Amino acid sequence: MELNPLYIIKISGNIIDDEHRLDAFLQQFSLLQGKKILVHGGGKLATKMADQLHIPQQMIEGRRVTDEATLRIVTMVYAGYINKTIVAGLQKYGNNAIGLTGADGNCILAHKRQHAGIDYGYVGDIDAVNTTLLHELLEQHAAIVVAPITHDGKGQLLNTNADTIAQEIAKALSNLYQTILIYSFEKKGVLLDINDESSVITVMDKTKYQVLKTEGKIFAGMVPKLDNAFAAIDAGVGKVIIGQAEELASLINASSGTTIQ
């Protein structure tokens, strides 16, 4: 039996930070037919709020170290303002949506990251996705908007990478749907030259990735996204595409962006 398609789309912080680009993206997302989940990051708002409150922020390889004060900020910003702004934006375009964190309905269970040399604070690594809950909501024809906050089942909230959340949701639901995972951001795809938008690599397999990575031709910020993409493919996700948020319609049919295989 052929499975129904499910689109899991991750939207980057650079789009969230731009009110007009976000609105244009949400309009396109609302027009997308079928079952869909939108996973969002946090953009610069959490950092801006931390600065205003004089709470120092530490980043390690692009990942935010999350102490107790920072956890309060990212929960307010990600799970509160950004998540509900996106939900309201979708409602404006007639797309019924519901916003969730990992704690809501026990949606995403995680544990506090353990690292021999680095204390990331209240950062979560995912243990389980509640496929029953997500399936039930999707079957009610609601678009799901997921904020990058999870929980450990013991009352502790955890800040969790949104790219990883999108990947884990796609993997978990791949037995129920034909899952298409899309990482949408400000660039047109994975670029051979970060300064040249026309240098999109249209198809990327593991061999090409390893060669380009060894040669230093993959932009450092793209490496975690590509690692997540290949992990998703290896786990049975039907298709993974990386590309520009404004080109969502063409990303859906793989006529733009970078297709991972």
Coil, helix or strand at residue 93? coil
Which tokens belong to 47? 């950092």
What's the confidence (pLDDT) of residue 26? 96
Residue 11: how many CB atoms within 10 A of its CB? Answer: 27
All residue ranges of the chain with pLDDT < 50 are none
- Which CATH class name applies to 5-260? alpha beta
What's the confidence (pLDDT) of residue 1? 60
Distance, in Å, from the CA atom of 89 to the CA atom of 173, rounded to the nearest integer, reads 26
Residue-by-residue DSSP string for 23-77:
HHHHHHHHH--SEEEEEE--TTHHHHHHHHTT---EEETTEEEB-HHHHHHHIII
Domain boundaries along the sequence of the chain: 5-260
- 45-90 pLDDT, tens per residue? 888 988 898 888 887 766 778 999 999 999 999 999 999 999 999 9
Distance, in Å, from the CA atom of 155 to the CA atom of 234, rounded to the nearest integer, reads 32
